Amino acid sequence: MAKNFGFTLAEVLITLGIVGVVAAVTLPTLINNIKYQSYDNAKRKILNSVGEAGRLLAIEGDLNGATDAEDFVKNHLSKKLSIAKMCDSSHLGDCGLPSTFYKTNGKTTMSMPTKMKGGTAAYVFNYGSTETQAYANKNSYGFLTGNGYGVNLFYNGACEPDIKNTKAMLTNQDGYKYYWSQNHMCFFAIYDMNGKGGPNVVGKDIGLVGVYYPNEETRAVAVLPADYSYSSSGRGQSMTPASFTGAAKMCYEQFGKDYRMPDRDELSLMAMAGNLIGHNASNFWSGTVIGSDLAWMQNFYGGNRYTWTITRNNYIHCIRK
């Protein structure tokens, strides 16, 4: 007579219990990984759409010919980008942009800015050229992309080509070369990948995209800044200052393999939106070097870029790769 083999009720319950424990441990990590992957994908899409459209306009000589953000979006950017809807700065919610959102720490809220001074480091656009300062006082303009991303765009029609010759740079009282990075930013934008849906946090579903230099050397960048703790005063706290050589290691150790130092233009974009990140002062390392002993750093207060000796200490703000 053949015997029937099977599991006892106790064995089934034990197995289900083990599966439940494993799921409880692994599912939160898996869900978080999926969420962060969607944020990364959104950053790439916005760079390949809004960023690339701006870059093509620069190559064609049509990036800095508009009078303001509205003119730029309606009569220039729309030629290169699929735009489903446009909204003035008083009706950004109609383009899926939240009226308030969280800074990178996920705890501190701020209102959606409509002028560059209102959405940047405290004094970035009070420095730089007179023309750049004038554009800083003009309203932003919003639009909804064809794939459903809300975008709040700030425009600087006075943007200039890059300064590559250090002899053409300014010299501060300590003898270091610098120039105003905001003079070279043609536009930057705050984007939201999922409209008014959560979590509405900068560095997650909300990110930054910008285009620099109005000629053939133009560059589009997009960043998702890492999250940092905030002090009671509301000013963001970065990691302990370190030399350039120790900065990349700190990004890896603090946030993991998916994070790195921003390059010179990426860091400048973060300075343009310093209040969204929680930094409105201090100097930060970029990952862009000059020769064997100098690297570029960015001041988040005035907007100036310095060349700095790599053995000196500076703050670091990491971004997702």
Q: Give the per-residue SS3 of 204-264.
A: CCEEEEEEECCCCCCEEEEECECCCCECCCCCECCCCCECHHHHHHHHHHHHCCCEECCCH
Q: For the whole model, what pTM was predicted?
A: 0.87
Least confident of 21-30, 170-179, 205-214: 21-30
C-beta separation of 155 from 68 below 8 A: yes
> Residue 290 domain-assigned?
yes
> Residue 142 domain-assigned?
yes
Q: Can you tell me the mean pLDDT for 221-250?
A: 76
> Residue 49 domain-assigned?
yes
> Residue 196 domain-assigned?
yes
Convert the pLDDT of each residue in 279-316 to its tens digit: 777 889 999 998 888 899 999 888 988 888 899 888 88
Q: Assign 3-class secondary structure to 36-77.
A: HHHHHHHHHHHHHHHHHHHHHHHHCCCCCCCCCHHHHHHHCH
Predicted local confidence at residue 246, as pLDDT:
87
> Residue 235 domain-assigned?
yes
Query: In degrees rounded to 5, what are phi and psi of residue 46?
Result: -70, -35
pLDDT band at 75 (very low <50, low <70, confident <90, very high): very high
What's the chain's average pLDDT? Answer: 86
C-alpha 173/C-alpha 317 separation (Å) is 26
Predicted local confidence at residue 290, as pLDDT:
85
Least confident of 33-42, 94-103, 216-225, 291-300: 33-42
> Residue 20 domain-assigned?
no
Comparing CA positions, the residue from 186, 182, 212 lying closest to residue 274 is 182
Q: And the tokens for 123?
A: 């004094």
Domain count, the chain: 1
> Residue 25 domain-assigned?
no
Least confident of 170-179, 184-193, 215-224, 260-269: 170-179
> Residue 5 domain-assigned?
no
C-alpha 137/C-alpha 87 separation (Å) is 18
Query: Which range of residues forms the domain containing residue 246?
Result: 32-320
Q: Can you tell me the mean pLDDT for 32-39?
A: 76
Tally of CB atoms within 10 A around 48: 12
Instruction: Annotate 120-165 with DSSP letters as a single string.
Output: S-TTGGGSS-HHHHHHHTS--EEEEETTS-EEEEEE-TT-------
Whether residue 34 has pLDDT greater than 70: no
